[in-house]
A and B are shown apart, each in its own frame.
Chain A
Amino acid sequence: MLMAMLALLSAGGAAYAQGPVKITLWHAMGGARYEAITKGIAEGFNRAYPNYTLEPLFTGSYAETLTKAIAAIRAGNPPHIVQVYEVGTQTMIDSGAIIPVTDLVPPGEINFADYIDPILKYYTVRGKLYSMPFNSSTAILYYNKDIFRKAGLDPERPPQTFDELEQMGRQILRSGVARGAVTFGWPAWIFEQMFAYHNKYYANNENGRAARASKVLFDQPFGVYLASRWATWAREGLLVYGGREYAPNRAFLAGEVAMLMQSTSQVSTIERGAKFAVGTAFLPRIPGQPRGKSVIGGASLWVLKGRGRSRSELDAIVAFFKYLNQPTQTAQWHRDTGYFPATQSAVRLLESEGWFAKNPNFLTAFKQIQLGPDTGATRGVLLGNFVQIRDITDTMLERIFSGRMTPAEAVRLAADEANKVLDEYLKTYK
């Protein structure tokens, strides 16, 4: 009976084929970003291309979206496009379920060279661009100018180094205007950022880009040193831990903590939510360490094979990517969310409108990601089952911040766990 129902369903599908070609997009963009995708992008595309219909579907968090996509791939009926966060990159490449973007888009149809270099380089692995750049972000420092002023600090001069952050933080605590100096969003990601930012490898095989990574390198002296600096912050009460992802925004927005290291995707959210003057700055550096640059986070769009995609469906996907690539669309997505304007043409468009002059906080991340050398260590790490490894490093940081383990112990333990995960991964995808 099941078989009969399936047959009926597919017959129904065939009858539909007369109308516009339908493609589905599964994404993880909640909140204001949901509106930007459904109203801004999908409706605009459907108007511009009457032959095609794009159906966006919100499928939960990044992790949930990936899990659902995998289930759909197994069932043989995946969406055409799925949004996957940057930590899923290696897994998607190895899945055997995707069509690399450069294999799909005919040469010359999209000028990929127009993409901002760090974004393009992140999703290019061994010479091939695998997924369509979409929502890229990086971490920056947000600070509360009112607290700075009340503590007797110059509100236009945020800390540039770890040392300055500590000095200013102590002054803030002494003056009693805030309960904590700094907090982190996505702590494990900030930890990763610091490696690229100081031009250090996070994993072997050139961060997994020359070949699949088999060992993490964060238990090298730099990792232990970084963790110990942060442990000191926690011990002195400078660092107030507020949980993973976006939870720490609350302490910052409530004026409890003076500074916040968080994704640029929160610029508009934070500016709207804050009852004080918000400043943004580059991430602070560790004096005496080499200079690298921050890496991108966020997500990109992956094309899934499915069983027998028709030529017209593939054409629809290409048309959609071309639509996304238009400077007006890329710029609008940036204005709606705070994610990077991903192409140089979009940046020029925004500049010509005076957008950055009016919204300097949107510019900070963009300047930060372009300053600094392009090296193997700054292109971003690729790890098998990165999701699990990020959970391991988050746990490691929580152990350190709460004083349950010394930085050296916690880092050692986490590296062992992460190496086991990599080992397991290599065995699975041999």
Chain B
Amino acid sequence: MEGHFPDRGLPYLLVAPSVAIVLIFLLIPSGEALLQSLSRINPFTGAGRFVGLENFTSLLASEEYRHSIRVSVLFTAGTVLLSLSASLAMAALVNRSLRGIGIYRTALIWPYALSPAVAGTIWALLFEPSTGLITFALREMTGAAPNWMMSGSLALLVVILAAAWKLLGYNIMFFLAGLQAVPEELAEAAAVDGASAWHRFWAVTFPLLSPVTFFLLITNSLYAFFEVFGLIDVLTQGGPARATDVLVYKLYRDGFVSINWGQASAQSVLLFVLVAALTVLQFRYAGRRVFYT
């Protein structure tokens, strides 16, 4: 089994570029972040004074940070639930042989190709409180003038809608692939046994989709937690009154706008721990329950 290199140095040389990249772009910055999270830093000179865990304790004690955690959890739960259920429904709809089905499928995947900033701009324009198309339609139909720049819960709803919409294409692709892999005999057998279409879906098809669903649950949560910066920045900038201030956005604001590097580093360390914990938990869960044989 074992191959042999003619020279003992060659394998090291071959992995050196990857090791160097990991070292320069991952390990050194991570170490630096950890170091900075334990210091109070003058941003201009970089001179830091060691303050121990002060950045962490003040962060965890601050109501603002705890608020940001709550917003993140709410935002993630809303986005993932909405996006998964909507994409499953749509995938089921386009998993049929209709005339021109290819066009529908392609159209549904489009939003995924947009950059977060573009998606944000589209939604911002649609919901603009005075000139937006959706605002206008709502006002004409109901007489109400919803202003999501003023209402925090409305703003959260809009960013959840936008984030979930952005995920649709990706999710539909995977669900569609999953649906097409479901053996037709199973559904036919169930139909012969007299199961309704609805019952067939939940009893036969959906359980077979569970690996795909679980995979999407992970990727969607990671997206909602860590990759929505562009969307939030364009749409709400964390406002109004911090109603949409998810963790990544707060980190950006404290680090790059307020130049409070010690606190921002502490936040990035906490986020790192959070990702690690989520990943470990999910994979243990995945190993035991989700995959079928």
Contact = CB atoms under 8 A, between A and B. Distances in A.
Interface of A: 63-64, 66-67, 70, 73-74, 91, 95-97, 179, 234, 240-244, 247, 250-251, 254, 256-257, 385, 387-388, 391, 394-395, 398-399, 401-402, 404, 417, 421, 424, 427-429
Given A251-B130, A404-B241, A242 B259 contact: no
A424 B260 contact: yes
B256 A63 contact: yes
Interface of B: 40-46, 64, 128-131, 145, 147, 149-152, 237, 239-242, 253-254, 256-260
Contacts of B242: 395
Contact of A251 (B41, B46, B129): B129
A402 B128 contact: no
Contacts, number: 92
Contacts of A247: 149
Contacts of B151: 402
A242 B130 contact: yes
Contacts of A428: 40-42
A306 to B, nearest CB: 12
B257 A402 contact: no
Given A391-B258, A401-B150, 14 more contacts: A63-B257, A97-B44, A240-B147, A241-B240, A250-B131, A251-B130, A256-B131, A385-B258, A388-B257, A388-B260, A398-B152, A402-B150, A428-B41, A429-B42
Contacts of A257: 130
B256 A398 contact: no
Given A70-B259, A424-B260, A398 B130 contact: no
Which of B46, B64, B131, B257 has the largest count of A CB atoms less than 10 A from its CB? B257
6 contacts: A67-B257, A241-B150, A250-B130, A388-B254, A394-B239, A401-B240
From DSSP, what is the main secondary structure of chain B's interface residues?
loop
Nearest to A424: B260
B131 A74 contact: no
B232 to A, nearest CB: 14
A424 B59 CA distance: 13
From DSSP, what is the main secondary structure of chain A's interface residues?
helix
Contact of B241 (A66, A96, A398): A398
A67 B255 CA distance: 9
Contacts of A391: 253, 257-258
Given A96-B44, A385-B260, A241 B147 contact: yes
Contacts of B239: 243-244, 394-395, 398
A63 B150 CA distance: 24
A388 to B, nearest CB: 4
Contacts of A241: 147, 149-150, 240
Shortest 8 CB-CB contacts between residues of A and residues of B? A398-B241, A388-B258, A251-B130, A398-B240, A256-B130, A95-B44, A399-B241, A241-B150
Nearest to B139: A179
Nearest to B152: A402
A74 B44 contact: yes
Nearest to B236: A243
Nearest to A251: B130
Contacts of B258: 385, 387-388, 391, 421
B201 to A, nearest CB: 42
Contacts of A240: 129-130, 147, 150
Contacts of A91: 259
Which of B40, B41, B129, B242 has the largest count of A CB atoms less than 10 A from its CB? B129
Contacts of A421: 258
Nearest to B124: A247
B234 to A, nearest CB: 12
A385 B254 CA distance: 11
A74 B130 contact: no
A228 B100 CA distance: 60
B23 to A, nearest CB: 13
A92 B17 CA distance: 40
A96 B150 contact: no
A402 B244 CA distance: 14
B237 A244 contact: yes
